[in-house]
Amino acid sequence: MFCFPCVFVNNAAQVQRVVFVYLLHKTHQRRRSALWRPVLPVCIYLIYLSTCSEPVSDVMVKSNIPEAIELNSTVVLTCTAKGSFLKFSWLNGTTAIVPDGKHITSLRGNIFLTCAARSNPAASFSWFQGDKPIEASGAVLSLSDIEKKGLGQTKALYSCKASNTKTKREVASTAVSFTVIEPVSGVKLSAPSELLFAGNSSANLSCEVAKGSVQDVAWLKDGTVLTSSGRVFFPADLRSVQISPLQKEDNGEYTCTVSNPVSSESAKVKLPVIYGPEAVELSGESEVEVTDPLKLECSAPSVPPANYTWTFNGTKTTVTTSYYIIEKVTFSNTGTYKCEAYNALTGKTSSKTHMLAVRGEGELDDGLSDGAIAGIVIGVLAAVALAIGLFIYCRQKVP
């Protein structure tokens, strides 16, 4: 007798663990999970396509320690069960426990693929990844054995073949597929170390991962999604980005986020793009009265920030800031002020002039204020009304 073989997970094959850390309470109550210590998780995705199965039985939960001390203990709870296509869920009372990667973490246990076929005499088994034979014999193939052979890191189909030495018949099972997904870690984003100039330089940013299965890479610039354009290029794996030629708008902070279904990690780097100075903006009063204060402000976009110098009527001053301040102006301060911005790396300069006229005290008065004018108008109208009232009153008194 020989039946179609199938692959399933049996005995204590699927094992799932949860780690608990207990908090210290004044009442010293036990078994109240509140903190969780993070442990590196590995998620295993299984898709079973077999037609045979073993019912779930012998479900057991074990603790690694007999008693837990709140705040001090790390507890590993291990759930084991017999059966095919097992799926585990955890409850604290009636509340679902969800791994958060920080205080509670789901750990993997070993997984066993079991090949079964009714045969007389008993069948012998061989294993395959796709069409490629695996150096393994027996009815059970463990995940650890698969990983030792350098397999399991990419999604693949696994099957077994049952053979009867008497009947010489061989039958292959339906295949199952799974992938071991390792969390990503050690993400590093590197940028060129040399000076980068707008209009002349190019930059290649590289996102590297020390460990883990990378399934997706996303890029941000200053918190906004970075997409390909006429100057921004991504390779197919999105592990790097090339910008050519660089422009001043490319100056900023870049972020790459590497993720897979079980983890995500980001790295950042600043990319300084040297440019400028651009057109100078020079603001301030053009007319002031003698003894009034004066403040002229000069600005010019530049990376690195520009250096500033000022001249007055063609003569260089000692002012080297973006502000030119005079506490009390005199008539001698009338003239032409010039601000010049200079970038030492680009060697470029940009400048702008400003005319200032100093007037005598009171010459710039605009006359009466709006409030004073309104008061005068109201007063005149009141006086007119009073005069009219007196006139009418007097006329009525005269016989």
- Domain extent, residue 342, equals 281-359
Residue 397 in any domain: the answer is: no
pLDDT at residue number 144: 81
Which of 158, 164, 165, 162 minimizes the C-alpha distance to 141? 158
For residue 277, whether the previous peptide bond is cis, meaning omega lies within 30 degrees of 0, is: yes
User: Among all chains, which residue has been given the structure tokens 């790459």?
Assistant: 256
pLDDT the model gives residue 398: 55
My answer on whether 47 and 163 are in the same domain is yes
Q: How confident is the model at residue 9, as a pLDDT?
A: 44
**Residue 88: per-residue pLDDT:** 74
CATH (domain of 201) = 2.60.40.10
Q: Is 44 exposed, middle or buried (0-12, 13-18, 19+ CB in 10 A)?
A: middle
Q: Does 198 share its domain with 151?
A: no
At which residue do the structure tokens 């605009």 appear? 366
pLDDT of residue 309: 97
Residue 206 domain-assigned?
yes
Q: Mark whether 289 and 234 lie in a shared domain.
A: no
pLDDT at site 209: 95
Write out pLDDT tens, residues 164-216: 989 999 998 888 876 777 788 999 999 999 999 999 999 999 999 998 888 89
Shared-domain flag, residues 18 and 166: yes
Asked if residue 193 and residue 328 are part of one domain, the reply reads no
Give the per-residue pLDDT at 267.
Answer: 97
Quick one: 241 and 121 in the same domain? no
**In a domain? residue 368:** no
The last residue of a domain, from among 155, 181, 207: 181
Residue 246: per-residue pLDDT: 97
**pLDDT digits 0-9 by tens, 210-238:** 988 888 999 999 999 999 999 999 999 99
- Say if CB 275 and CB 248 are below 8 A apart: yes
**Which pTM does this prediction carry?**
0.57
Please write down the HEC assignment for all residues of the chain: CECCCEEECCCCCCEEEEEEEECCCCCCCCCCEEECCCCCCCEEEEECCCCCCCCCEEEEEEECCCCCCCCCCEEEEEEEEECCCCCCCCEECCEECCCCCCCCCEEECCCEEEEECCECCCCEEEEEECCEEEEEECCEEEHHHHHHCCCCCCCEEEEEEEECCCCCCEEECCCEEEEEECCCEEEEEECCCCCCECCCCCEEEEEEEEECCCCEEEEEECCEECCCCCCEECCCCCCEEEECCCCHHHCEEEEEEEEECCEEEEEEEEECCEECCCCCEEECCCEEECCCCEEEEEECCCECCCEEEEEECCEECCCCCCEEEECCCCHHHCEEEEEEEECCCCCCEEEEEEEEEEECCCCCCCCCCHHHHHHHHHHHHHHHHHHHHHHHHHHHHCC
Classify residue 337: in a domain, yes or no.
yes
Q: Are residues 351 and 314 in the same domain?
A: yes
Based on the domain organization, do 220 and 297 belong to the same domain? no
Number of independent structural domains in the chain: 3
| Domain annotation covers residue 364 | no
Residue 155 included in any domain? yes
CB atoms within 10 A of CB 303: 19
- Both 125 and 255 in one domain: the answer is no
Q: What is the pLDDT of residue 326?
A: 96
Residue 388 inside a domain? The answer is no
Q: Is residue 380 a part of any domain in this protein?
A: no
The last residue of one of the domains, among 166, 181, 196, is: 181
Q: Which of 100, 101, 7 is nearest to 52 (CA)?
A: 7
Tens-place pLDDT, residues 99-120: 654 455 455 556 778 888 888 9
- 159, 25: one domain: yes
Q: Are residues 150 and 64 in the same domain?
A: yes
Please tell me the predicted confidence (pLDDT) of residue 85: 59
Length of the chain: 399
Residues 248 and 226 both lie in one domain: yes
pLDDT < 70 regions, the chain? 1-54, 70-74, 83-87, 98-110, 178, 366-375, 389-399
